[in-house]
Amino acid sequence: MFNAKGISETDRILIALTSLALNAPSTYTIAWSKGDADKKQHYPILYAGIASSLATVLGAIFGHTTWGDSLMWGGLLSTFALFGYVVFVYTGKNGGNGHMLFINGNGQGAGKPVLIV
């Protein structure tokens, strides 16, 4: 299905780091920021992120084999799917708070630019 010999070690490292970067801080942080203070309810998202990152990293380590290459790509695709699910679909147990997140507070100054130094 995939050509295991066509992917360099550098590319496998970058694929593993991409998976870790999406799952380690981002997916879980987005999940618990969707309105509920009880972070324990979001642990399934955390565990799914750990599992998909682990699959990607193990696949990258054993990428010189056919099964390792398939595991790496499957882990990366599951990472993208989990990230997209959390960003666009996931609301948590309470359905979230229904408020948009604005940089300038509660939305009054949303049209003003933010100076980042």
Domain ranges within the chain, ordered by starting residue:
4-88
The amino acid at 35:
G
Residues 71-93 have a mean pLDDT of 85
Confidence of residue 96 (pLDDT cuts 50, 70, 90): low
Assess whether pLDDT exceeds 90 at residue 39. no
Residues 19-46 have a mean pLDDT of 74
What single DSSP character describes residue 105?
B
What pLDDT is stored for residue 87 in this prediction? 80
The reported pTM is 0.68
Angle, alpha carbons 53-59-61 (nearest 5°): 105
Altogether, the residues listed in the chain come to a count of 117
**Contact 41/92 with Cβ under 8 angstroms?**
yes
Phi-psi region of 107 (alpha: psi -120 to 50; beta: other; left: phi over 0): left
